[in-house]
Amino acid sequence: MDPLSDVLTLLSAKSYTTSGLRAPAGWGLHYPGFDGLKFFAVQEGSARFRADDSDEWITLRKGDGIILTRACSFSVTTSDGAVQAESNQTPFELREGLADYGGDALIMIAGKMEIDKTSASLLLSELPVVIRIFSDDDSTSVFTWIMNYIKTEKASQLPGSVVVTDYLMHLMMIEGIRRGVAQAVDTGQGWMKSFSDQRIARVLTAIHQRPGNNWRLPELAGIAGMSRAGFLRRFAQLTGTTPLKYLTEWRMHVASKALRTSSESVKAIGLSLGYGSESAFSTAFKRIYGCSPTEHRSLKHEST
């Protein structure tokens, strides 16, 4: 897999919820934050969006969408509307799988994805809280296709439609995250900048695919096709760290997920990641997470 695909597996999506709404002109509600990923997009009409920690209202037209990567309360209105109430205190009727507030001036689809926040931190810490998706971007055709498919499935209410729409929403989330990653690369933010350099990306791919390998700097520099000095300089430039520190941190991310989602022994996990003894693995793990692997495993109930 490529580096981004490797990191995306850390999201460990645990559940999906697909929904949507119909609203009349002049409509607007305030929504609480969701402790996961939240997505919504305009199918018909136009809307305005504002996160509570921002003064900016973002106009969303047909085909435009937003992904929230962190818990963030927000407001959504029609283009001519104002916030009138809290969403959890406002009644609606369920019609064709959508929350109907009494009109068709605005039709939106929405979705939520519960994730393993501990494993996903490597990715989410590099992404903006609000990822914007605009329909005038050439690469948004996939969003239009998915939105139309979700609309058809929700209206049909055929057997299995819930499963189909949830998987489509997962695909929508992944496409949106790819957009956020592209924005991070373009703006030069964080270790994702390394995706723009094929030489360093090859090294990340090798580390991700074989985290238990006894990697040495000359070998990694050879994969990049660079001198050792040039490789170290470029790697630090793009990721803000050294190759061996990145290797250790990646190993610990993999270990964290294994500890909380499998019954594999601490010793076996450590050996699979290149540590010759359980004590060496435990020392490295505690340096990153501040607790022992056994203590970290107690978090398992929060991730299942």
Over the stretch 97-140, which tens digit does the pLDDT of each residue have? 889 999 999 999 998 888 877 777 777 877 888 998 887 655 55
- The answer to whether residues 32 and 67 belong to one domain is yes
Look at residue 192 and tell me if it is in a domain. no
Residue 180: the pLDDT is 80
* Residues of the domain holding 280: 197-302
Q: What is the CATH number of the domain that holds 170?
A: 2.60.120.10
Residues 218 and 90 in one domain: no
Confidence band of 15 (pLDDT split at 50, 70, 90): low
pLDDT at position 282: 97
Classify residue 230: in a domain, yes or no. Answer: yes
- Based on the domain organization, do 162 and 17 belong to the same domain? yes
- 187, 206, 224 - which closes a domain: 187
Average pLDDT over the chain, rounded to an integer: 88
CATH number, position 266: 1.10.10.60
Burial of 5-31, coded b for 16+ CB within 10 Å and e otherwise, reads ebbbbbbbbeebbbbbbbbeeebbbbb
Residue with tokens 């948004």: 140
Residues of the chain with pLDDT > 90, as a percent, come to 55
Name the residue with higher pLDDT: 82 or 35. 82
**pTM for this prediction:** 0.78
- What's phi and psi for 232, nearest 5 deg? -60, -40
Beta strands in 134-250 (DSSP E): none
Examine the domain organization and report whether 182 and 35 are in the same domain. Answer: yes
